[in-house]
Structure 1
């Protein structure tokens, strides 16, 4: 069984009310279906960016994605989590200029 020290990255997917209304449950399920070595996917409480969701935060690099749809998760998993290249077109502009 893996523990927190086995992970290099953590993907937080907001599951608070507004993000859930915008499809966050499907986004979380899509991330959980992408088994990426060294990456832990967890549901999160509110990430404080209500109205911009579903919000996804990749730690420890603090890369924010907003308005993520379940059908976009594969791109994030492949390009960011596996190849280390954030998907620039999907980044949350408030934190990534």
Structure 2
């Protein structure tokens, strides 16, 4: 039955990991490194400047879907990679809704 479901993976995707001051203090460099250790085809992982959600970091934004993750820890990155980036299903308990 899964072979009749639509393909949820976009042709290209970008994972932005905030590396601004507040997120870096909260461990964003390790989060970025964790994403880089788990490459996904057609997905680029980049460091970004402030994503405008200070105090909720480390922040991760997945484009083009505009899915936000907050307070991401390096140990949680494999779940995001497998469930969201590979499986097409965002990790619900990590989602963040920007203001």
Same fold per TM (> 0.5)? yes
**Paired position in structure 2 for 1:54:** 58
TM normalised by structure 1 equals 0.88
Q: Deviations over 1:54-89 (max 9, x none)?
A: 000000000000000000000000000000000001
Q: How many residues align?
A: 88
| Alpha-carbon distance in 2 for matches of 1:34, 1:66 | 19
Task: Identify the residue that residue 94 of structure 2 maps to in structure 1.
Answer: 90
SS at match of 2:72: coil
Using the alignment, how far apart are the partners of 2:61 and 2:39 within structure 1? Answer: 17
In the aligned structure 1, how far is the partner of 2:73 from the partner of 2:49? 18
**Which consecutive residues of structure 2, in runs of 5 or more, have no partner in the other structure?**
1-10
Give the number of the structure whose alpha-carbon radius of gyration is greater: 2
Q: TM-score normalized by structure 2? A: 0.87
Q: C-alpha offsets along residues 1-21 of structure 1, whole Å, 9 cap, x if unaligned?
A: xxxxxx610000000000000
What does 1:14-29 correspond to in 2, within 5 Å?
Answer: 14-29=18-33
What is residue 65 of structure 1 aligned with on the other side? 69
In structure 1, the residue matched to 2:81 is 77
Q: Structure 1 residue 35: deviation in Å?
A: 1.0
